[in-house]
């Protein structure tokens, strides 16, 4: 199955963070969305906000995960081919 969406972006809040990291991640992977970008101010693994790019969905899961803390750059691959500067993201 392939989705019409090329990229889905979610920005977490305290009330949606678990859903964005769990059921939505699962759903987008199963739908074949090529890129899922999670802007997560509430990441439990980091001491400040982080941005995670999930890519290459296969068999209902993403096979590639790139995570950077706010303040670092993240490359969005084709068809976007752009560098996302997270330096201005609020902590």
Q: Model confidence over 42-85: pLDDT tens digits? A: 877 777 899 999 999 999 999 999 999 999 999 999 999 999 99
Residues 19-45 pLDDT 10s: 999 999 999 999 999 999 999 988 777
Q: Kindly report the pTM of this predicted structure.
A: 0.91
| DSSP string across the chain | ---S-SEEEEE--TTTHHHHHTHHHHHHHHHT-SEEEEEETT-TTSSS-EEEEEEEEETTEEEEEEEEETTSEEEE-TTT-EEEE-TTS--
Sign, CA torsion 20/1/60/68: negative
Which domains are seen in the chain, by residue range?
A: 7-85 (3.90.1570.10)
């Amino acid at each position: 199955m392939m989705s019409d969406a090329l990229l889905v972006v979610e920005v977490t809040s305290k009330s949606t963070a678990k859903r964005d990291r769990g059921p939505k991640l699962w759903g987008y992977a199963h739908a074949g969305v090529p890129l899922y970008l999670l802007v997560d101010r509430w990441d439990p693994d980091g001491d400040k906000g982080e941005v995670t790019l999930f890519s290459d969905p296969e068999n209902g899961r993403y096979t590639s995960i790139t995570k950077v803390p706010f303040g670092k750059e993240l490359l969005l691959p084709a068809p976007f081919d752009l560098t996302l500067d997270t330096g201005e993201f609020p902590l």
